[in-house]
Amino acid sequence: GGDAGGTGEGPKPLDELVVGFSQVGAESGWRTANTTDIQGAFEDAGIELKFSDAQQKQENQIKAIRSYIQQQVDVIAFSPVVESGWDAVLNEAKAAGIPVVLTDRAVDSADDSLYVSFLGSDFVEEGKKAGEWVVEEYADADDVKIVQLEGTTGAAPAIDRAEGFADVIGADDKFEIVASQTGDFTRAGGKQVTEALLKSNPDIDLIYAHNDDMGLGAIEAIEAAGLTPGEDIKIVTVDAVKDGMQALADGKINFIVECSPLLGEQLVEIVTQINDGETPEKRIVTEETTFTQEQAVEALPDRQY
């Protein structure tokens, strides 16, 4: 049942635990690596993981969470597609006594008793790292036209990566974001938006894409327009999945801020703590680095995802 463990029943054997996980979708290389890692970690731990793919729709995630409540799973984990609109369903989980863990993305609920722990990256920090590279790269330029490819509208990483970046480049008015549009974290979205924007802004200097996949789509659009990505138009992205790192090593992307999708082991740890009646840390921030083109060449052979 949905007992948090430790309130009389004591811990369950791991092979009797059931966790329900609601994933955002399969929109990017990051996401598929995240799914593989989480499923693998639960398999290794011998804990049953029920999995559902919301295809980037909040209503599907809410349905999945309600179904996990109905099934009285021991823990619900989910990666919220957008930040807002979760209070009702999270209150239902709370009323049913089922602990909820947020993985990867945050919710904007004012009541933080609606979840036990939030495991994932600091997206504002990622946006700042992208901005710091841009400031350094263009130290001697007097005018820099930037296009921003935003992630899914309303998603924590889209909001926070825009904010962190703007904070840093905003200190110097030579940086101008001439257009900022969502590509929904997909390759097709990044390509489409870039194609259209290149027509209205042919003289842009830099594209800041909120993930590798949109940057990879932008590369296709830039090449189709007869320009050289990485040279005529520089590209900065976030994630550092294999395809992104390859493009960085090939000189088509200029800089990548890492965002690690490998959250499986830490999620298993949180679930076992809950089962043991312990209180997991409320916020667990993923550790990550950045990559230049040279560093990508070095890191690529050992990159797992």
For ligand GYE, the closer CB: 31 or 128: 31
> Closest distance between ligand GYE and the C-beta of residue 1, in Å?
31
Nearer to ligand GYE, 45 or 252 (CB): 252
Shortest distance (Å) from residue 103 CB to ligand GYE: 9
- List the structure tokens of 201: 């802004």
Least distance in Å: CB of 76 to ligand GYE? 18
Q: Which is nearer to ligand GYE, 45 or 219 (CB)?
A: 219
Q: Which is nearer to ligand GYE, 5 or 190 (CB)?
A: 190
Q: Are 218 and 190 in contact (CB under 8 A)?
A: yes
Name which of 31 and 252 has its Cβ closer to ligand GYE. 31
CA distance 60 to 92: 16
To the nearest 10 degrees (0 to 180), the angle between helices 29-45 and 212-224 is 150
CB of 8 to ligand GYE, least distance (A): 37
* Closest approach of ligand GYE to the CB of residue 118, in Å: 12
Interface ranges with ligand GYE (CB under 6 A): 27-28, 30-31, 104-105, 157, 185, 211, 213, 238-239, 259
Tell which phi-psi region holds residue 120, choosing left (phi > 0), alpha (psi between -120 and 50) or beta: left
In the complex, minimum distance from the CB of residue 286 to ligand GYE, in angstroms, rounded to a whole number: 9
Nearer to ligand GYE, 211 or 254 (CB): 211
